[in-house]
Structure 1
């Protein structure tokens, strides 16, 4: 059974890592071969028949999983908006699928279009600038008619970070765009009924508890109200899992239903002779399902719900296999529902945490003589060890106080906050006064939680320790640490503690591969610019990309994850060429994510803290410097320091023995003429102003004669960058070209002979759903 489940799991996950989808006939062929081998083994008297049958069952399970995942992938890519509709003005009628969210510029919401003449995706995400007042009161279920302009979702492809297109397609969003100004835009009808989730959300608003943001997350799975300070506290103490509706909370809902069902079942046993456990199992399953539905069937809730349902089915069948089999079966079911679940960090965190608990609570590891103390402490320690590798790989940090924090935090949330919240939510439909009392108790439980977590942070600081420490390992270090954690979690007779300690120490001390003397990465940030320059162990960031909205900016969400993946603990120099948002928008996010040693700018920057604004040096008056044989020099002709906008851009020349690079920001033709006399040939150039026709003059191109020119531009951007005439100038000059809109992040360096090495990230990480 284990081998068949693991084979199915392999088949379900493999297509998600392929550059193209395999035809379904390939899976059918594998399945046919498996069926033939099974039939042969059943009628064969050979001693190897049983082995053949087992191998054939594994092959069949793999084929079924592979075929299902391939069909899922085809359905996924079919969701995408047809190319013929991109950029067209379309009149769409549909149902509001999510409540409109407002920021300083617009409303955002998801619309489910009704079937029409045009083939539309099942869901489209829209932005509405200057929306009418009635949109503020619109609710999911309202029917709207809108004039829209759409495009297919597209991801920024960088070495580390978020795959936006995959996320959108997995939730059924095959197009995104904006609402055009039109008299045809109107609400056709209002939804009359009020759903359970909306009633509970309104109840929380009316009662206004002090910790409404966390209570909303625990009850409804909506974490949109959580502040950055809350998130920082949860991350530092390793308790982020408590505010997600996870297996712990689904288990509590199932247990509550089971207890109520048992009481009901005892009465039915007397009246109808029905076994008491049948109503208990049914009501437990219903409560677990209902709570998962409130959370939108997120990945952790799927895993927990599947395990609860499998356990109940096994109980009905009188078959109770080990927890490991349940976990494997749950993984298969989750991947059947969504074969690309393996791309979620939550998938690995969830299943590894449960697997470690199965080892402890299943008796695989001895709890020792102090059994009751061990039952409190050892599960936390096991989860801490099991999650060390995924936390290091995904988040680049590890909370040292997590085991201690969770001993109290889990008890508070699971035995106090969640039960009181459940009781209050149920009572809100029949006894509002009683509901308010339960909600008050849940709120006070969270107050105690903050006191405990903040006390741990202060205690760690008092003894000179960080509550959470960076844990950025060399590639081989992750494998060594993973093996050490496995040895630590093995049952006592198999445990090799000295070897585990040795491997963990080796993982932490393993040096990273020696980087080239000068390596450059032009990040894929859409219509903007962000460049990472590494000179040995020094790091310079030139521009920080755009600010996309309250929840996403290139500095915190594109640059910082990449730098942390490179084991960069601080940025040695940050240059913001000028104040335009597509270059400076991510500065605040990067400054909050990583310490910055030196800070250069040309213009006064908004949206950063006063202390950072005060220490920023003017690049036009800054002195040159060297890092490990690499020279950095700002080139500023007379009069540029008094300019503003594009022509104020910091122009940075970076030179080593093997490679020279020019970073000109957004300078335009007039400034290029002034700079030409200061410039000479370079190996590589990041094109001025994204390849605009107002830049890259013939004089500049001739003076620089770049071997490589990189354009940092958005895909199908409205400015038409890079301009065809600009491309032709560089082509006549004999320059090689790369565009982040098509290539993703562009990496280049030079070997000791000066030969340029170029890597395009999109070609390096091809997946079937990417363009």
Structure 2
């Protein structure tokens, strides 16, 4: 009788788990699998499986097993997401008048105020949950302290612009379900772990050192004390991965422990020397470093991967690199399903993937020097340098598309910067810092590490100006070229009959050309076949993108950005733009710097004009940053206010009733104000009528009802209305709406704004005219695309958005609307 039990292949299971986990990146909240659905479908599959066993249908048995694994994996991952959403929906039920006990878990920022990750330790529905806090209380806090606080908690929420940073996704990757501001706080007690005691001690000992922020980042994974300029310098040289403790650092700690154990074995009798001791010692060192870093997501990934790799080795499970790759990822996803929402996870995964491809197809042993393998010809030091060059070339070639996708730019000197800085960090700085942590700064180790970091920073700062911002179109094109070149290079090495490096052409050697290819080289055929299929799909998708770009583009766009409580609207045509208002500004930044300028750079849009409707901060707070980035643009204002001390004589004109601008086929007509003032207020807002002779758009700033009455005679029916004053009842009156009858009404407001905009009376006025109402607080960025005789509306947040981007803190049924 045939054996009916189907042995599930672990490699297939690991891939199923991984692809099930990937569903968390794309499914909307209504597409996540609930327990009821899981139970119903599981019973159905179970009945089919029983039937298949009875009838001896082996293929059906195999299929059922795989489907059950897939179903179970989907439910496991989706239940984690649904649990966070359900907890987030209950945040508003917390009584903010009651004190809440919290424990400080991590400090994110240490400036004029502190931002922290805390865990709730009170007896309420959020007990044990992570929350994000703005700590503006005068008290300075330390990790490990427990405080009794008064907090106004809100469900997590964030701005959402196309292609921009989704902070809500980041919140969820950290298990954060709520955020709030600390109104008052009283320290209750300290519960310092050994790590936290060492961190606080290190802060005291390094207070006088100029590189304290880097020392704390490399020693404990705490970047709260890291200077913003230093962090940017490392980012702009593609060396920021050295600051964030991740797999590289954990592997280095493993190597240090392994080497020390091997060194100690020289003093042991031969019969006492085993390969197990160095491995265990290395893992202990790596685990200790991960502990120092607070077992953050990147360090947790690194240490788990190392433990799994060595467990497989000790159990004598001889796995291919791809088997190991997928099994480790599957286990990591099971341990922390929300890890997939972290950008650092995908940077690590892609880095490992690129290195596997590089060493599979272009190993260093592929090359020969004077007919001998490079890996054996030279001494250890030369081999190390060649290996470092080989590694950096592979990362530069294959990892650049990933770099462009995540950071929209690249450093032209990243290759040189990494060649110089990686050995310094690996061989000197990190080991000295670890010694300083262990020994409490013995032998001036903190000072030595600081001196080395100062010298390293001098190198990094001298190279930071070589950062090149690359827009999306060029990013795709550069990525395509790099991948095609890689395919051609592989073909040239393994298939070309006229390869100048073939060792059977001795004439090159005799002419002083000693480099050749290993005659025993063999093509990884399976990877080559899969690569060809993936490459073909990628090329097809790129061609589809190009067709859309050149043949299906609208004539022009109106783009209302999500900048919280404020206004910033772009008029875009042929990659040129007019900006109407800049959003808010504050002491250390602005919405222009945080959202508008990065968006323009991502999209490759050149800003030509800036209209400042009036001088309230939520409309003009980013003018200074816009002028700094685009010093030659024309700025049209309704006041004589000086917006920039660095550029006091900028190209300025005024918005005054009756003035017209003609811009690439569009007409902009000023309907208000009637005079220019020293400082413009709501009633002085620059009201613009924008038209292409087929569509009409009205931009109103914070115009008041009195001004609406004055301009009525100049306006007919409107297609798109930018609702005045974010939906305040001081604008958008009933008679005004009845007169212009807008088809679409756009509201720009913050979700939890203090004034509860938009006002219900305004919503009612618009609804009576059957206007489609869109609010950036709910929809994120709102783009309207204009065609010859029609227009379409695109929202950054919509019904089909991934679950982590949807609105949290409202009834689940309302989210589905």
Q: TM-score range by the shorter chain?
A: 0.7 to 0.9
Is the Cα–Cα contact under 8 Å of residues 257 and 286 in structure 1 kept in the other structure? yes
Q: For residue 196 of structure 1, what is the aligned residue in structure 2?
A: 195
Question: Structure 2 residue aligned with 1:443, among 447, 450, 456?
Answer: 450
2:560 counterpart of 1:522: yes
Q: For residue 602 of structure 2, what is the aligned residue in structure 1?
A: 565
Is the Cα–Cα contact under 8 Å of residues 598 and 616 in structure 1 kept in the other structure? yes
Residue deviations 1:364-385 (CA, integer Å, cap 9, x gap): 5454125346423221121112
Q: For residue 462 of structure 1, what is the aligned residue in structure 2?
A: none
Is the Cα–Cα contact under 8 Å of residues 703 and 724 in structure 2 kept in the other structure? yes
Query: Residues 341 and 547 from structure 1, CA distance in 2 versus in 1: closer, same or farther, beyond 3 angstroms?
Result: farther
Q: For residue 322 of structure 1, what is the aligned residue in structure 2?
A: 320
Q: Distance in 2 between matches of 1:83 and 1:241?
A: 35
Structure number with greater CO (CA < 8 Å, separation at least 6) is 2
Q: For residue 731 of structure 2, what is the aligned residue in structure 1?
A: 695
What is the Cα deviation at residue 643 of structure 1? Answer: 5.2
Q: For residue 751 of structure 2, what is the aligned residue in structure 1?
A: 715
Partner SS, residue 160 of structure 2: coil
Q: Distance in 2 between matches of 1:756 and 1:713?
A: 23
2:121 counterpart of 1:114: yes
Is the Cα–Cα contact under 8 Å of residues 676 and 700 in structure 1 kept in the other structure? yes
2:653 counterpart of 1:655: no
What is the Cα deviation at residue 646 of structure 1? Answer: 1.8
Q: For residue 3 of structure 2, what is the aligned residue in structure 1?
A: none
Is the Cα–Cα contact under 8 Å of residues 13 and 340 in structure 1 kept in the other structure? no
Query: Residues 148 and 647 from structure 1, CA distance in 2 versus in 1: closer, same or farther, beyond 3 angstroms?
Result: same
Query: How does the TM-score come out when normalised to structure 2?
Result: 0.80
How do 1:493-572 residues align onto structure 2 when only pairs under 5 Å count?
493=494, 512-513=549-550, 515-547=553-585, 550=588, 553-568=590-605, 570-572=606-608
Q: Distance in 2 between matches of 1:170 and 1:457?
A: 30
Q: Distance in 1 between matches of 2:578 and 2:558?
A: 10
2:150 counterpart of 1:139: no
Q: Distance in 1 between matches of 2:105 and 2:348?
A: 28
Query: Residues 743 and 450 from structure 1, CA distance in 2 versus in 1: closer, same or farther, beyond 3 angstroms?
Result: closer
Q: For residue 776 of structure 2, what is the aligned residue in structure 1?
A: 740
Q: Distance in 2 between matches of 1:587 and 1:335?
A: 44
Q: Distance in 2 between matches of 1:444 and 1:522?
A: 48
Q: Distance in 2 between matches of 1:682 and 1:538?
A: 24
Partner SS, residue 241 of structure 1: helix
2:352 counterpart of 1:354: yes
Q: For residue 77 of structure 1, what is the aligned residue in structure 2?
A: 85
Is the Cα–Cα contact under 8 Å of residues 654 and 662 in structure 1 kept in the other structure? yes
Query: Residues 307 and 727 from structure 1, CA distance in 2 versus in 1: closer, same or farther, beyond 3 angstroms?
Result: closer
- More displaced stretch, 478-487 vs 734-743: 478-487
Q: Distance in 2 between matches of 1:284 and 1:36?
A: 49
Residue deviations 1:324-344 (CA, integer Å, cap 9, x gap): 333222222232233343333
What is the Cα deviation at residue 649 of structure 1? Answer: 2.4
How do 1:347-426 residues align onto structure 2 when only pairs under 5 Å count?
347-361=345-359, 365=363, 367-370=366-369, 371=374, 372=383, 374-426=386-438
Residue deviations 1:425-471 (CA, integer Å, cap 9, x gap): 2222xxx441x1x333333333443344455568xxxxxxx552425
Q: For residue 176 of structure 1, what is the aligned residue in structure 2?
A: 179
What is the Cα deviation at residue 592 of structure 1? Answer: 5.8
Q: For residue 166 of structure 1, what is the aligned residue in structure 2?
A: 169
Query: Residues 545 and 338 from structure 1, CA distance in 2 versus in 1: closer, same or farther, beyond 3 angstroms?
Result: farther
Q: Distance in 2 between matches of 1:730 and 1:192?
A: 55
Query: Residues 404 and 154 from structure 1, CA distance in 2 versus in 1: closer, same or farther, beyond 3 angstroms?
Result: same
- More displaced stretch, 194-203 vs 312-321: 194-203
Q: For residue 67 of structure 1, what is the aligned residue in structure 2?
A: 75
What is the Cα deviation at residue 250 of structure 1? Answer: 0.8
Query: Residues 200 and 12 from structure 1, CA distance in 2 versus in 1: closer, same or farther, beyond 3 angstroms?
Result: same
What is the Cα deviation at residue 653 of structure 1? Answer: 2.5
Q: For residue 158 of structure 2, what is the aligned residue in structure 1?
A: 155
Q: For residue 766 of structure 2, what is the aligned residue in structure 1?
A: 730
Q: Distance in 1 between matches of 2:125 and 2:629?
A: 44
Residue deviations 1:294-346 (CA, integer Å, cap 9, x gap): 22333432332222112221232133423333322222223223334333332
What is the Cα deviation at residue 274 of structure 1? Answer: 6.4
Q: Distance in 1 between matches of 2:35 and 2:273?
A: 46
How do 1:553-632 residues align onto structure 2 when only pairs under 5 Å count?
553-568=590-605, 570-588=606-624, 597-603=633-639, 609-615=644-650, 617-620=652-655, 624-632=660-668
Q: Distance in 2 between matches of 1:665 and 1:168?
A: 32
Query: Residues 540 and 120 from structure 1, CA distance in 2 versus in 1: closer, same or farther, beyond 3 angstroms?
Result: farther
What is the Cα deviation at residue 687 of structure 1? Answer: 0.7
Partner SS, residue 89 of structure 1: coil
What is the Cα deviation at residue 702 of structure 1? Answer: 4.2
**CA RMSD across the alignment:** 3.9
In structure 2, stretches of 5+ residues that fail to align are: 1-9, 375-382, 495-522, 808-817
2:123 counterpart of 1:125: no
Partner SS, residue 324 of structure 2: helix
Q: Distance in 1 between matches of 2:121 and 2:763?
A: 43
Q: Distance in 2 between matches of 1:279 and 1:143?
A: 40
Is the Cα–Cα contact under 8 Å of residues 656 and 676 in structure 2 kept in the other structure? no
Q: Distance in 1 between matches of 2:257 and 2:428?
A: 17
In structure 1, stretches of 5+ residues that fail to align are: 459-465
Q: How many residues align?
A: 740
Query: Residues 84 and 510 from structure 1, CA distance in 2 versus in 1: closer, same or farther, beyond 3 angstroms?
Result: closer
Query: Residues 454 and 163 from structure 1, CA distance in 2 versus in 1: closer, same or farther, beyond 3 angstroms?
Result: closer
Q: For residue 241 of structure 2, what is the aligned residue in structure 1?
A: 241
Q: Distance in 1 between matches of 2:174 and 2:581?
A: 33
Q: For residue 463 of structure 1, what is the aligned residue in structure 2?
A: none
Residue deviations 1:187-217 (CA, integer Å, cap 9, x gap): 3x33164642442454254233332222222
Query: Residues 613 and 64 from structure 1, CA distance in 2 versus in 1: closer, same or farther, beyond 3 angstroms?
Result: farther
Is the Cα–Cα contact under 8 Å of residues 397 and 472 in structure 1 kept in the other structure? no
Is the Cα–Cα contact under 8 Å of residues 247 and 301 in structure 1 kept in the other structure? yes
Query: Residues 485 and 285 from structure 1, CA distance in 2 versus in 1: closer, same or farther, beyond 3 angstroms?
Result: farther
Question: Structure 2 residue aligned with 1:8, among 2, 17, 23?
Answer: 17
- More displaced stretch, 442-451 vs 491-500: 491-500
Is the Cα–Cα contact under 8 Å of residues 471 and 602 in structure 2 kept in the other structure? no
Query: Residues 350 and 651 from structure 1, CA distance in 2 versus in 1: closer, same or farther, beyond 3 angstroms?
Result: same
Query: How does the TM-score come out when normalised to structure 1?
Result: 0.85
Query: Residues 383 and 592 from structure 1, CA distance in 2 versus in 1: closer, same or farther, beyond 3 angstroms?
Result: farther
Query: Residues 615 and 664 from structure 1, CA distance in 2 versus in 1: closer, same or farther, beyond 3 angstroms?
Result: same
